[in-house]
Amino acid sequence: KIVRTQMLSLVHSNNIRSGTRFGALKLLVTYCVQIRLLKMNKVLWIYMMPVFIVCVSPVPSGISSIVHLIKQWSLLGVDDYPMPKEFLNTQELIKREGYDVEIHEVTTEDGYILTLTRMVPKDVPPGPRAPVMLVHGVVAASDQWVLRGKHQDLAFLLSDQGFDVWLVDARGNVNGRRHKHLSPGDPRFWDFTFTESALYDLPAFVDCILNVTGAPKIGYIGHSMGTTIFFIFASMRPEYNSKIFWIRSSRTSWAKIPDGPDPDVCDENDVHEA
């Protein structure tokens, strides 16, 4: 109640400067954590959202500030509260489950700087492990493979079964906003399609994995866009086909299903031997 009173008094002040608003924003985040607002209590969100807007709107860096504050728990005095997984990136989600990670970067032929995350399980005897690359769907990122945690998500299940799991982030997603010469604010940065992702991103990913692991081939698992760009990749860069030993694909398609699922449309795809 004290935090809320202090926060509201700051926000309702008529001569609020950006620094004071930032202080109110800090109090707001503290309050959110303390009342467990991060568990998505809808009533509390509705109550607090106007305050959040007032705090953030005049501050150009308001959004980045709140993210910084949330990540710097020590500044908020809430060290006893674990970071909610909604605020964790792919590497943090993996480490949270007791795995180590390796971060690898590649630069595509057309200048995009992209990231691969390699899962490194602990307490696994050394030895060769078949590498598998997991490619996310459109408007998604590599964290889609690890959000639910160990014993539930595919990346963890594959790793526990002895595979060398690599999660990639394609150009343009939340983790793929870097380029040698262009910034995301430049329209030319976004001048690409699935074709460019297939022609440039996938070859860079495959080359990196093969170079690091020394394996002759990799497995490929794609979801949605990850499936589409694989078949473009396989048809337009056929020199890579011999480097893929199997593919598991979840198709992207349009289907009109008025009376329920059609088995001929919605059946699961089998594993395809390359």
Which tokens sit at 134? 């997991």
Mean pLDDT of the chain: 76
Residue 218 DSSP code: E
Nearest to 223 by CA among 116, 131, 136: 136
pLDDT confidence of residue 123: 77
pLDDT confidence of residue 146: 95
The average pLDDT across 63-85 equals 51
Give the list of residues 6+ apart from residue 76 with CB closer than 8 angstroms, or none: 26, 29, 30, 33, 69
Whether the full predicted model's pTM is greater than 0.75, yes or no, is no
Distance CA 208, CA 118 (A): 11
Helix (H) or strand (E) holding 166: strand 164-169
pLDDT tens, residue by residue, 38-51 = 444 444 544 455 55
Q: Which domains does the chain have, with CATH numbers?
A: 2-79 (no CATH), 90-273 (3.40.50.1820)
| Inter-residue contact 142 to 56 (CB < 8 Å) | no
Distance CA 248, CA 244 (A): 11
| Inter-residue contact 157 to 132 (CB < 8 Å) | no
